[in-house]
Amino acid sequence: MAAAPGDILPPLGNPALLPPAKKVNEDPSFPQATPVVPSMIAEDWSKWSTLPPDLVRRVADSLLSTNDLDCYIHFRAVSPSWRAATDDPMSNTSDPRFRPRRWIILDEHFQSEGKFLLLNTHSGRFLHRNIPLLSDHYVVATTRNGYLVLADKSPPHAASILNPLTGVVIRFVAPVPPEVGSAAVVALACSALGLTFFSDSSHKTYTAYPDSESFVVHEVPQVAYGSLRKAVVGGVYSDTIGHAMIARLCCSLMSPHPNDLCFPVGLATETLLVGSVEGFILVFKTDIELGKLVALDNINNYAIFMGHQRCLAVDADKFPGIEANCIYFTEQLGSSAHIFKCNNKDRKVERISEAADFVKQDKKFVLVADRPLTIIHLLSSYTINIPDSQLALQQIP
């Protein structure tokens, strides 16, 4: 499926498909490139389009392995032969190869006129994506793996799941429940994409599949609701395990101190717990043999960002300015908030800047605009706020 013109900006770091320009050495000490004439371009593209299918698939698989699905779509658009040699994301919407992973959608502070800013937390690649579908849909939520959850603007506001990297839309029969919050999870079960919403007011979850007539309501004990919701917004929710198991896992990890801020967070193949415990920022893992939590002083090349709303881990090697084995967290001081950095090895804590990084406006913390923004600010903003559901805002009297 070829991307619509103008939908995606040229991806950063996307290798050029054209061969290098041929050179002629008029003076060996000053090599110069000769212009590439149109006939040469046509000839070169003709050669590229006749690559063996096995080689084309190997290149395509390399893009899928890094979850660069937008580059995969561009790759398939090169020629009919390349499309014939590779699988179409539209042909099987439940194929896990074409599901977004490792991506986050940065909040509305970085959005304008239907354009979203996405970030691959493993590769460090930013992507601006234009979403024409938003002209007749409300954004209800964004998921930790990179999906957009939408609702039709026309009643009864049927739900949809949009993969912004491939343009694939999964439409639901059931309307979005009016009382749901902005936290949502997209899960793969029984070869179909399912959708679960959370209601903070009632501590209930709402689940449906594309053919469901309505969302099924699940009562969640109050003590388990918060940990389950944190698992979802922290990206720990697994497609292979259900609500009950995630709730038990999170409850076993949560701090006994009710006022401490703790989040489960997925790091590589492990589920860890990070949080503020009696004034200390700590990272724990579960030691199955000992049957207890063990504090870690090394998370290798990862850095963890934790805010009031959610938490995520990134590969620090891919983000200049972010230090590995550190936890970046926000702390509210009156009507403002500051970003702090805690070294996970020696527990040393330092403030990122003397001035406040966020100011409170209504119920949200907004980045202070009179300074250059860094990647630390962008990721911290992602963790301190969760955008409100546009549908819920429209229904407020």
Q: Of 96, 123, 156, at which residue does a domain stop?
A: 96
Place of tokens 């194929």: 95
What is the identity of the amino acid at 396? I
Residue 200's pLDDT is what? Answer: 81
Q: Of 43, 62, 96, at which residue does a domain stop?
A: 96
Are the C-beta atoms of residues 271 and 264 closer than 8 Å to each other? yes
Domains contained in the chain, number = 2
Please tell me the chain's helix, strand, coil percentages from 3-state DSSP, rounded to the nearest 5: 25, 35, 45
Is 222 within a domain?
Answer: no
pLDDT digit string (tens) for the chain, length 397 residues: 444 433 333 333 333 333 333 333 444 443 444 444 454 445 565 677 788 999 999 999 999 999 999 999 999 999 999 999 999 998 887 788 998 888 999 875 556 667 888 999 988 999 988 888 888 999 988 888 888 999 999 999 999 999 999 999 999 999 998 877 666 767 655 456 788 888 888 888 889 999 999 999 988 887 777 777 777 766 665 433 444 444 455 555 454 444 457 888 877 677 788 888 777 888 988 776 666 778 899 999 999 999 888 888 999 999 999 999 999 999 988 889 999 999 999 999 999 988 899 999 887 888 887 777 889 999 999 998 888 888 887 766 5
Is 191 within a domain?
Answer: no
Is 192 within a domain?
Answer: no
Is 39 within a domain?
Answer: yes
What is the identity of the amino acid at 357? D
Is 59 within a domain?
Answer: yes
Taking the C-alpha atoms of residue 249 and residue 151, their distance in angstroms, rounded to an integer, is 32
Q: Of 64, 96, 128, at which residue does a domain stop?
A: 96
Range of the domain at 329: 254-397
Is 217 within a domain?
Answer: no
Burial class (CB in 10 A: 0-12, 13-18, 19+), 320: exposed
Is 16 within a domain?
Answer: no
Is 212 within a domain?
Answer: no
By C-alpha distance, which of 198, 142, 188, 151 is closest to 173?
A: 151
Task: For residue 279, give every residue at least 6 positions away whose Cβ sits within 8 Å of its Cβ, in sequence order, or none.
Answer: none
